[in-house]
Amino acid sequence: MKNYKLRLFGAGVRGEHILPFNIEPTQEQIENAVTILIEKGLMELKLESGFHRKDCWTLTYEEVLDNKKEKENILGTWV
């Protein structure tokens, strides 16, 4: 099982949540998960007046790696 960090920002709000998935999630699965998290109040949305657009949302996600368990071979060196 892999954990993914979801970030939602824009329209004057910002929210983050870490969510586990058994498989590589599709865009639709991520969007559905965020919708459910917001409806149930599990993803806390904070007011933000930063540099983000006020008329649209941006949703990003990335896999959260456990640096102690997973290493990557970069240019012949395990990091």
Residue 63: give the domain boundaries. 2-78
* Predicted local confidence at residue 12, as pLDDT: 83
How many domains does the chain divide into? 1
pLDDT higher at 46 or 72: 46
Q: Give the N- to C-terminal CA distance of the chain in Å, as an integer.
A: 22
Find, among 24, 37, 27, the residue nearest to 59 by Cα.
27
* Predicted local confidence at residue 73, as pLDDT: 62
Q: In the predicted model, is pLDDT for residue 17 greater than 90?
A: yes
Q: In the predicted model, is pLDDT for residue 79 greater than 60?
A: no
Q: What is each CA distance from 31 to 69, 72, 73, 79, in whole angstroms?
A: 29, 29, 32, 32
**pLDDT tens-digit readout, 19-65:** 999 988 999 999 999 999 999 999 888 887 776 677 888 899 998 88
**Cβ(17)–Cβ(43) below 8 Å:** yes
* Predicted local confidence at residue 10, as pLDDT: 85
